[in-house]
Chains A and B, each alone.
Chain A
Amino acid sequence: MAKMPDESILSDAFIHELINVGEVDIVVGVPTYNDGRTVGQVVQAVRAGLLTYFPRARAVIINADGGSRDGTQDLVRAASISDMSVSSDVRALRTLHSISTQYEGGPASGTALRTILAAADLLQAKACAVVAAESTTIEPAWMESLVRPIFHDGRELVLPVYRRQKFDGLLIRNLVYPLTRAIYRCLVREPYPSEFAFSGNLGSHFLQQDIWTQEPGRGAELWMTLSAIAERSKVSQSYLGTKARPENPPSDLVNAMRGTAGTIFAFMESAPSLWNGSRELLDAPCGGCQSTVSLEPLRVNRKRLYQMFAFGIAELEPVFLSILSPETHAQLKRLAALPEDRFAYPADLWARTVYEFSAAYHSAVIGRDHVVQALVPLFRGRAFTFVTENRDATAEQVESNIELVCQAFEREKPYLQKLWDGRK
């Protein structure tokens, strides 16, 4: 028998609002924190998408807010359609609630997602989509792309495929995507999505997992993807178009590494049988997919990447000695000694490095969080190489280079298995 979800994270006032919403077909969750500048546009697009593509469905927009003080919640609530506030330009068959709640403990994407999951579970939603409040490139059609595969094709998780600038999403392209693909044998381009959708059943299942008792907020979306593909849920991808780049992208690479590599390592650790063996490739068809790379200019401070790599190699040598194999460590030291114009961190070495970190996380040679943190300077070196290799590349060449990274991770996977099993 399934466990009851922990509903205590929902405030009484919010439950009160959910009672008024009642059972729904679609929940659209919008996590926010001081997103007043963009969230209005986003929820209006969501509303237009629901009215256009799912006019008959019972839907609700749910905002899980981390404590905004800029009117974010009011902007979300303004998207409601009811008989109390009839707008002459909106033609809707039924009421659309757009409600907001502030969760405890300050902004944390995991808590926001959990709030949305718990609400969707209570409302018995058949499908739940999550959209980011800063996604200003959102189109109403995103709702169809995300939700329709669940309603009509029986998919349980729909992940996005974005068109990104070629140097955007370096961590996704060099670590999260290749590692996930190699480990879990499923080709999903955006395993750590900011827009995605899932079935009510998958949401309820996910809500019951232990992840919520761990540090809140980090990597929950990625955990959900890993869980779905590892357990061979029906996953698909939908091409959404251009992903807006945040005006002030988070600069804390350590936290980003915790949320990505840390989450993947932890998930591998929690259920090794789900990856440590030969598995069939899991098909994750992509609806409407086009090129994922765009060539608009984006400045990257390569010099700083290079310097931070070299500095890290020197500074963290004792740590690396306990994590890395002597061969890998020696190669990295040799790389660090190269001048910037000759520096290159090849994909094969990068894949082996990541796998050695994963194994170190597994055997907990040092504190696991330290293992994850120590990967940061090495990633900078890999990022430097990716930027350098693709500086003058066309979109197709970038795609091809990303594919080479993935293949390197796949080739080296037996090495990981040996490390994991203690055979090396």
Chain B
Amino acid sequence: MRGVRATHIFGERELPQQDALWYKDAIIYQVHVRAFYDSSGDGNGDFRGLAQKLDHLQDLGIDCIWLMPFFPSPLRDDGYDISDYRSVNPTYGTLDDFKAFLDAAHKRDIRVIIEMVLNHTSDQHPWFQESRSSRNNPRRDWYVWSDVDTRYKGTRIIFLDTELSNWAWDPVSKQYYWHRFFSHQPDLNWDNPEVREEMWSVMKFWLEMGVDAFRLDAVPYLVEREDTNCENLPETHAVIKDLRARMDREFPGRMLLAEANQWPADLCAYFSGGDEFHMAFHFPLMPRMFMGVKLEDRKPITEILKQTPEIPAVCQWCLFLRNHDELTLEMVTDMERDYMYDEYAQDKAMRLNLGIRRRLAPLLDNDRRKIELMNGMLMSLPGTPIIYYGDEIGMGDNVNLGDRNGVRTPMQWDAGWNGGFSPADPEQLYSPLIMNPVYGYPVINVYAQKRFDHSLLSWMKRIIRVRKSTPVLGRGSIEFLYPANHRVLAYVRKLGRDTILAVNNLSGAAQAVELDLKPYRGNILIEMFGKNIFPRIGDLPYLLTLGPYQFYWFRLKKV
């Protein structure tokens, strides 16, 4: 499916001719440099280490890496509090180290997405330091200041556990400044043309270096207006469209991914007519996949997908099971949230803000069948899947670490010293490793899982390979079947003449299901993992039986 629309040039490195829609076929791997591999022995992962471990990612089969923030930062929000947009946090290496990593990734046909935090900076950023230094400073208007803390009253507070207001008092310049997240993260003033130019300049800096895409953090909150909830405003969309237009003009083939934790209808506005974001996370779907498996009922999943409007052909949803944040429950009803808390976070320590700070394997009771089912849905529902680092081997979490640090512990490479993550003394590590007898690195590690065909890692490689064997799952349309057995989620993905049928048993018990496949009468089913042939579709409903949490992908073939 490689097309010829955009050639991708960065410095001396050049990828082969590109399909401009590459992100639709991608399998994205989300990783934090700090957590992956420490080559310097200081207890922190770094770019050289990440480059050394690219073989693992290539072997896994992913073709895109999403890096969490690696910029200089006081690290009060795990790097989302940036104090210099044009450099690399020295802990992770140098700009040259980053370039070398980028080069190595591209040589393996792996693209790189980096974070771009447009909404706010760290309060340690020189821009803010200047801005707060006096009311007359030329950068004063780069942030949002006010004499009173009552403006934009209709705006919700996102970090309910830590923040009482979206305004914080600055004792230096004796005014309030606006912040949608932590008070140490002042919001930039996107009404200021200088800010817009400067942030585009920052993006250009990285695009020229060769990064393939940006994940734009916290996009709904860029612009504030009185008498609104200050989210998803037309002015915010205008800012993004302007950035997109500039990027398309100067760097065709690059991609913008929106982080906007919103309902589907609001999210769709970020695709606009295909001229704003290329991709956006489907936040409401994720908790409903967990809910569906726990309820053993497809209803939450089909309902949210039915509420998801069509998006432009060039756009794509980004699907994920877990990421670096809590499993957010903002986009569910109160009843659903209570259910999720009771089922997935009985221990209050697992709860954070409006979410659950746990990794995939512990959330699913370390049940291999459930982990496979969830990944099966992740890879077959419409969108581009993201795998969070460590989830390919079923890493655990540590809810005793503060904030969301419990899901950001070091990657577990082997059973040796520091789990193979770092040669440093364990006390030096940026975070303790997972040590418990179930998820600890002596048990759960890459080395051990590479040795066995039936390990989770081997299985993940297999499903990625199968997913990549067809463009249908990345680009095809979806049509839900509604078998009377509500424990079975079944859908048909189609692209051109290719058709794939996915059938998922959300239940812990074996199920029989009859599928109405009349439109496909005469086709035989070819199971895509084992390539075995199943009976031809006839006039009668197609009877399938599925084991507990089992799923099938069938290619339909007319013989």
Interface: B299 (CB within 8 A): yes
Asked if B189 is at the interface (CB within 8 A of a chain A CB), the reply is no
Give the residues in chain A near B296, CB-CB below 8 Å.
Answer: 22, 58
Q: How far is the CA of A182 from the CA of B296 in the complex (A)?
A: 48
Give the number of chain B interface residues (Cβ < 8 Å).
24
Interface residue A279 (Cβ < 8 Å from any Cβ of B):
no
- CB neighbours of A168 from chain B (8 A): none
What is the minimal beta-carbon distance from A180 to any residue of chain B, in angstroms?
Answer: 40
The reply to whether the CB of B108 lies closer than 8 angstroms to some CB of chain A is no
Q: What CA separation (Å) do A95 and B295 show in the bound complex?
A: 9
Out of A19, A56, A86, name the residue touching B485 (CB < 8 Å). A19
| B484 / chain A contacts, CB cutoff of 8 Å | 17, 20
Q: Do residues B306 and A91 form an inter-chain contact, with CB atoms below 8 A? A: no
Segment with Cβ contacts to A, from B85-93, B142-150, B506-514: B506-514
A215: which B residues are within 8 A, CB to CB?
Answer: none
CA distance A252 to B483 in the complex (A): 46
The 8 A CB mask of B452-496 against A (1 = contact, 0 = none) is 000000000000000000000000000000111111000000000
The reply to whether A95 and B335 form a contact with Cβ atoms under 8 Å apart is no
Q: Are B509 and A23 in contact (CB under 8 A)?
A: yes
**Interface presence of B132 (CB below 8 A):** no
A82 proximity list for chain B (CB < 8 A): 299, 482, 486
Task: Find the residue from B299, B483, B512 having the highest chain A CB count within 10 A.
Answer: B299
Q: Is the CB of B295 within 8 A of A94?
A: yes
Answer whether residue B303 sits at the interface, using C-beta atoms and an 8 A cutoff. Answer: yes
Chain B residues near A92 (CB-CB < 8 A): 299
- Going nearest first, the 7 A-B pairs with the smallest beta carbon separation are A20-B484, A95-B486, A83-B302, A94-B297, A20-B485, A83-B299, A94-B295
Q: Which of B507-530 contact A (CB under 8 A)?
A: 507, 509, 511-512
When C-beta atoms are compared, the residue in chain A nearest to B307 turns out to be: A86
Choose one: B295, B297, B306; the contact of A86 (CB below 8 Å): B306
Would A83 and B333 count as touching, CB distance under 8 A? no
How far is the CB of A95 from the nearest CB of chain B, in Å? Answer: 4
Q: Is the CB of B509 within 8 A of A95?
A: no
List 18 A–B pairs whose Cβ atoms lie within 8 Å, in order of A's numbering. Answer: A17-B484, A19-B512, A20-B483, A22-B486, A22-B507, A22-B509, A56-B295, A83-B302, A84-B482, A86-B303, A86-B306, A91-B335, A93-B299, A93-B300, A93-B335, A93-B339, A94-B295, A95-B298
**Residue in A19, A22, A84 with the greatest tally of chain B CB atoms within 10 Å:** A22
Residues from chain B with Cβ under 8 Å of A55 in the complex: 335
Q: Nearest CB to that of A86 among chain B residues? A: B303
| Min CB gap B379→A, angstroms | 22
Complex interface: chain A residues within 8 A of B336 (CB): 93
A83 touches B298 (CB 8 A): yes
Contacts of A58 in B (CB 8 A): 296
Assess whether A95 is in contact with B297, with CB atoms less than 8 Å apart. yes
Contacts A83-B299, A86-B303, A93-B300 given: A20-B486 contact, CB under 8 Å?
Answer: yes
Given contact pairs A22-B507, A93-B291, enumerate 16 new A-B contacts (beta carbons under 8 Å).
A19-B512, A22-B296, A82-B299, A83-B299, A83-B303, A83-B482, A86-B303, A86-B306, A91-B333, A91-B335, A93-B299, A94-B295, A94-B297, A94-B300, A95-B297, A97-B486
Q: Given the complex of chains A and B, what is the CA–CA distance between A106 and B487 in angstroms?
A: 34
| Residue among B295, B298, B484 with max Cβ neighbours from chain A (10 Å) | B484
| Interface of chain A: mostly helix, strand, loop or mixed | loop
Q: B512 to chain A: which residues have CB within 8 Å?
A: 19
A22 neighbours in B (Cβ, 8 Å): 296, 485-487, 507, 509, 511
A22→B297 CA distance, assembly (Å): 11
- Which of A83, A86, A91 touches B486 (beta carbons < 8 Å)? A83
Residue of A nearest to B484 (CB): A20
Contacts of A84 in B (CB 8 A): 482
| A92 to B484 CA separation, bound complex (whole angstroms) | 18
Q: How far is the CA of A95 from the CA of B488 in the complex (A)?
A: 12
Q: Please determine whether B306 and A83 come into contact, CB atoms closer than 8 angstroms.
A: yes
- Docked complex Cα distance between A84 and B339 (Å): 23
Residues 296-341 of B at the A interface (beta carbon under 8 Å): 296-300, 302-303, 306, 333, 335-336, 339
Q: Report B-chain residues with C-beta under 8 Å of the C-beta of A94.
A: 295, 297, 299-300, 486
User: Closest CB of chain A to B39's CB: distance in Å?
Assistant: 48
A56-114 with Cβ < 8 A to chain B:
56, 58, 82-84, 86, 91-95, 97
Q: How far is the CA of A55 from the CA of B300 in the complex (A)?
A: 14
Smallest Cβ-Cβ distance to B513: which chain A residue? A20
Within 8 A of A (CB), among B95-152: none
Shortest Cβ distance from residue A308 to the other chain B in the assembled complex, whole angstroms: 53
CB contacts under 8 Å to A, within B330-371, are 333, 335-336, 339
Which A residues have a C-beta under 8 Å from some C-beta of B?
17, 19-20, 22-23, 55-56, 58, 82-84, 86, 91-95, 97
Which residues of the partner chain A approach B485 to less than 8 Å between Cβ atoms?
19-20, 22
CA distance A93 to B486 in the complex (A): 13
Nearest B residue (CB) for A99 = B484
Report chain A residues within 8 Å CB of B302: 83
Q: Which residue of B lies closest to A84 (CB)?
A: B482
Distance between Cα atoms of A336 and B336 in the complex (Å): 68
Residues of A within 8 A of B298 (CB): 83, 95
Q: Shortest CB–CB separation between residue B331 and chain A, in angstroms?
A: 15
**Closest Cβ of chain A: how far from B543's Cβ, in Å?**
11
Residue of B nearest to A83 (CB): B302
Shortest CB-to-CB span from A398 to chain B, Å, is 44
Query: How many whole Å from A42's CB to the nearest CB in chain B?
Result: 23
The distance in angstroms between the C-alpha atoms of A92 and B300, with both chains bound, is 9
B480 to chain A: closest residue by CB: A83
Q: Which of A23, A91, A93, A97 contacts B295 (CB 8 A)?
A: A93
Per-position 1/0 for B382-401, Cβ under 8 A of A = 00000000000000000000
- Nearest chain B CB to A311 CB, angstrom units: 58
- Least CB separation from A17: chain B residue: B484
- Per the bound structure, the CA–CA distance linking A97 and B487 in Å amounts to 12
Q: How far is the CB of A91 from chain B (nearest CB, A)?
A: 7
User: A119 to chain B: closest CB distance in Å?
Assistant: 16
In the bound complex, what is the Cα–Cα distance between A154 and B290 (angstroms)? 30
Closest to B292 in A: A94
Inside 8 A of A91's CB, which chain B residues have their CB? 333, 335
CB A149 to nearest CB in B, in angstroms, measures 22
Question: With a CB–CB cut-off of 8 A, which chain A residues contact B486?
Answer: 20, 22, 82-83, 94-95, 97
Q: Shortest beta-carbon distance, B529 to chain A, in Å?
A: 26
Distance in angstroms from A24 CB to nearest chain B CB is 11
CA distance A92 to B335 in the complex (A): 9
CB distance from B324 to the nearest CB of A (A): 28
**Hey, which chain A residues are within 8 Å of B299, CB to CB?**
82-83, 92-95
Please measure, in the bound complex, the distance between the C-alpha atom of A94 and the C-alpha atom of B298, giving whole angstroms.
8
B305 vs chain A, min Cβ distance (A):
9
The smallest beta-carbon distance between B365 and chain A, in angstroms, is: 18
Q: How far is A17 from B487 in the complex, measured between Cα atoms in Å?
A: 13
Q: How far is the CA of A55 from the CA of B343 in the complex (A)?
A: 14
A58 CB to closest chain B CB (Å) equals 8
CA of A22 to CA of B299, assembled, Å = 15
Q: How far is the CA of A20 from the CA of B300 in the complex (A)?
A: 17
Give the interface centre of B295, B303, B335, B486 by most chain A CB atoms within 10 Å.
B486
A86 and B299 alpha carbons, distance in the complex (Å):
10
Q: Which residues of B contact A93 (CB under 8 A)?
A: 291, 295, 297, 299-300, 335-336, 339
Closest to A58 in B: B296
Alpha-carbon distance between A168 and B216 when the two chains are bound, in angstroms: 72
CB of B332 to closest CB in A, whole Å: 10
Considering residues B297, B339, B512, which has the most beta carbons from chain A within 10 angstroms of its beta carbon?
A: B297
Q: How far is the CB of A56 from chain B (nearest CB, A)?
A: 6
CB distance from B513 to the nearest CB of A (A): 8
Q: How far is the CA of A83 from the CA of B487 in the complex (A)?
A: 12
Interface string of B498-511 (1 = CB under 8 A from A): 00000000010101
Q: How far does the Cβ of A89 sit from chain B's closest Cβ, in whole Å?
A: 14
Cβ contacts under 8 Å, B507 to chain A = 22
Q: Which chain A positions have C-beta within 8 A of B300?
A: 93-94
Shortest CB distance B136–A (Å):
55
Q: In whole angstroms, what is the CA distance A97 to B483 when docked?
A: 13
Nearest-neighbor residue (CB-CB) of A85 within chain B: B482
